[in-house]
Chains A and B, each alone.
Chain A
Amino acid sequence: DTGVSQNPRHKITKRGQNVTFRCDPISEHNRLYWYRQTLGQGPEFLTYFQNEAQLEKSRLLSDRFSAERPKGSFSTLEIQRTEQGDSAMYLCASSDGGGFETQYFGPGTRLLVL
């Protein structure tokens, strides 16, 4: 399967702990996106990368959140000092960045902060 993969699929943590999620995009897709989705809402854009460069960050991405894509392939999203409000599904999507690009989503990482 050459789709977008995300790990872990589920994460339960205690408030105040740090967590890190990984996303592996579709092979050769140069754009990678992170979104957050809470129950009953649509996904909300967090940030995106073109190759290894982080080109846009939403105001939703507080200082406790950091994302990297060091070699332009996989990406990590870290949340420091987690809060209960961080509980959500974290979705990764990738695209080839073409003129009419479409984004394909991974299965998501479901985070529960106790």
Chain B
Amino acid sequence: QKEVEQNSGPLSVPEGAIASLNCTYSDRGSQSFFWYRQYSGKSPELIMFIYSNGDKEDGRFTAQLNKASQYVSLLIRDSQPSDSATYLCAVRSGGGADGLTFGKGTHLIIQP
């Protein structure tokens, strides 16, 4: 059973601070890792993807991957109230199954 675990939160962060979101996964054969943002009542929106160990930066967002620890994280710098949403971690295995396995999401609240 492939599992993706996230702390459901809510995670409350002051405006302008760094928000740190974490995710662990059970399938060691996983090869692709994604972060989606989902506003209430809306569909998931792709924020970042990462495939290799280390950090990947895109604007205010940094994704970090550690395959040995089976751990993925997302850092949001200079957090804005508009970043308040649920952040979904998704994992794609390398075993020919192409559907993504999602965590339950972390609810992030940026306090003005």
Show the binding face of A for B, using Cβ within 8 Å. 31, 33, 35, 40-48, 55-56, 58, 89, 91, 100-108
Contacts and interface: CB of A to CB of B under 8 A. Distances in A.
B99 A33 contact: yes
Nearest to B31: A100
Given A56-B97, A102-B49, A40 B104 contact: yes
A43 B104 CA distance: 8
Given A102-B46, A105-B43, A108-B43, A56 B98 contact: yes
9 contacts: A33-B99, A42-B104, A43-B100, A47-B99, A89-B43, A91-B43, A102-B49, A107-B42, A108-B42
B98 A31 contact: yes
Interface string B79-110: 00000000010100000011111111100000
B58 to A, nearest CB: 13
Contacts of A33: 98-100
A108 B104 CA distance: 17
Contact of B98 (A35, A40, A43, A48): A48
Given A42-B105, A47-B99, A48-B98, 12 more contacts: A33-B98, A33-B100, A40-B8, A42-B88, A43-B100, A48-B99, A56-B99, A58-B99, A102-B46, A103-B46, A104-B46, A108-B43
Contacts of A91: 43-44
B62 interface: no
A103 B99 CA distance: 9
A109 B49 CA distance: 25
A44 B98 contact: no
Nearest to B96: A56
A94 B99 CA distance: 11
Nearest to B99: A45
B44 A43 contact: yes
- A44, A101, A102 interface centre (most CB from chain B within 10 Å): A102
